[in-house]
Structure 1
Amino acid sequence: MRYLTRMTAASLWLVCAVGMAAIPDDPLESPQWDSMVAKHLGEDAEIVFDDRVRVLSAGYAEDAMETPVMVEAPDLPDVESVVVFADLNPITKILEYYPERAAPTLSFRFKIQQATPVRAAMRTADGVWHVGGMWIEAAGGGCTAPSVAAGSPIWESRLGEISGKAWARGPERERLRFRVVHPMDTGLAAGIPVFHITDVTLATPAGETLARLKPFEPVSENPVISVNLRYRGPVALSGRDNNGNRFAATLPAPAAP
């Protein structure tokens, strides 16, 4: 019986070991890399570090509440989803992006708490995660500071206000930049509950989805996000936040180049 028990335990270990993909060594040498894989990509995920996936930002965050970053992989085909995360932030996931009729390129601003690797992981149609990233130095405090809106008596009247502009990039291409008025509170500032946008959908006026985003708490207040669409024309933008508030607007087509 003891022999069978030992065999069973060994067999289970072998099954688990075979079922788990090897985690590649982290070129950024983050102490949290293995936990980031488990949390955001999955322990059985196939992962490769890929120079085609680029995270572009200044090496130092001058404003911890508004750190600009761009992620892109123009030469990586068949990208189905993008996850952006910061290993050492108290809330690590920054956003998810699903570029259905868009390029795997977007830019935005986020809150940074301390020096941290910031990464973009892009999953292609074959299920492989392609990862790129960089270290950003920071004095810190961005995630635990209250939003400007938290101290303003008029922000509620503008909640969900949308503005945007598009630029033509070819017959069936446009670059779209949009802004949504929202405090994007992380819940980490004393006395201020978490309050953030959870979903944004970009679609044609006929309802065909162009791209979807899931912003998380670290995205900066009044988020400004830019995407490259494989489409040219008016864009219907809709979204909601974690309190059930909904917002929508139609952004005009770009002018002819």
Structure 2
Amino acid sequence: MVFPGLLFLLLINIGSAQENNADNAKDPLDSFMWDLYRNRFLSDAPVHFDSRVRITAPEFAEDSGQVPVEIDASHLNDQFDKMLLWVELNPIPMVFEYSPGTHGLAKVGLNIRLEQGSPVRVAVLSQGAWYVGSTFIDGAGGGCSTPGIANSGKNWSKDFGQVRARRFPADNGSRLRFLIMHPMESGLLPSEIPFYIEELTINSGGESVADMKWHASISENPVLTIEMKGDKGTTYKLRARDNNANVLESEI
């Protein structure tokens, strides 16, 4: 027998759970592009908007060609299968696809291009479901379709292909930072052809321990910050390849 008061409380709890599930699936930015990119990038897997997937970025991008974005999904789960970052209103929306392998942790930073004010999404695949973090970055625009500020006076014959690397201690391993001298041209300007890094691998002990696929929404001279499980005694080697088969390498 169920008492009336108990039944009332049970109905409230069921209603609250249903409401929470509905809120969990509702786009917090209410973007008209969300459904398009959900279907394109996330397929049929369950999707949850989750505040534990955090994006740190400026509210307004003064230089739309160089917008720093930091992702921290470590409060969700460092044991994840894939991470995606995209900018909904960019002409090339996908920024990167990250497979953490055996060493990658859920903390990544990169400078990106912003064509106009846009929702920015990061999706983390863990245990068969996508967990999504969102933010909105406003800006003067043109980051994808106009020459970047950094491009003025650049001597590519001297600087192209240089990689500068630094290492910092982190809570669960090491934070690696790489500055890669590359124009990262999208091909959207009439005077240029696509010329950008499209594959980046981090190796340790002769084996790949994490890898990324890059797209042309990443800024010129990209600065990648990425956390790895290995401590200061672990040697890492970065290997990047662009779409013209140039290989750029650095060891740290």
Q: Report the equivalent of 2:115.
A: 113
* 1:173, distance to aligned residue in structure 2 (A): 1.0
- Does the Cα contact within 8 Å between 1:187 and 1:193 map onto a contact in 2? yes
Counterpart residue number, 2:80: 79
Q: Secondary structure at the match of 1:94?
A: strand
Query: Contact conserved, 2:95 with 2:112, CA < 8 A, in 1?
Result: yes
Tell me which moved more, 161-170 or 175-184.
Answer: 161-170
In structure 2, C-alpha distance between the alignment counterparts of 1:111 and 1:200, rounded to whole Å: 18
Distance, in Å, in 1 between the alignment partners of 2:140 and 2:250 is 37
Q: CA deviation at 1:154?
A: 3.0
In the aligned structure 2, how far is the partner of 1:175 from the partner of 1:216?
23
Q: Work out the CA distance in 2 between the residues paired with 1:243 and 1:159.
A: 13
Separation (CA, whole Å) in 2 of partners of 1:61 and 1:92 = 17
Return the TM-score normalized by structure 2: 0.84
**C-alpha contact (below 8 Å) 1:108/1:224 kept by paired residues:** yes
TM-score by length of 1: 0.82
Residue ranges of structure 2 left out of the alignment (5+ in a row): 1-21
The two structures, once aligned, show a CA RMSD in angstroms of 2.0
Distance 1:184 1:215 in 2: 10
71-80 or 221-230, larger mean C-alpha shift = 71-80
CA change 1:46–1:34 in 2 (3 A) is same
**How high is the sequence identity, in percent, across the aligned residues?**
33
Separation in structure 1 between the aligned mates of residue 153 and residue 247 of structure 2, nearest angstrom: 21
Unaligned stretches of 5+ in structure 1?
1-21, 252-257
**Over residues 204-227 of structure 1, what are the superposed CA-to-partner deviations in whole Å (9 max), with x where a residue is unaligned?**
1x2232321212101110100101
Number of residue-to-residue matches in the alignment: 226
Distance (whole Å) between structure 2 residues aligned to residue 148 and residue 137 of structure 1: 18
C-alpha deviation, 1:150, in angstroms: 6.4
Q: Deviations over 1:78-101 (max 9, x none)?
A: 211100001111110011112221
Paired letter, 2:33: Q
Q: How does 1:151-230 map to 2 (within 5 A)?
A: 154-169=155-170, 173-204=173-204, 206-230=205-229
- 2:106 is matched with which residue? 104
Query: Could you say which residue in structure 1 is the equivalent of 2:42?
Result: 41
| TM-aligned CA distance change 1:150 to 1:58, over 3 Å | closer
In 1, Cα distance between equivalents of 2:118 and 2:188: 18
Paired residues for 1:46-57 under 5 Å = 46-57=46-57
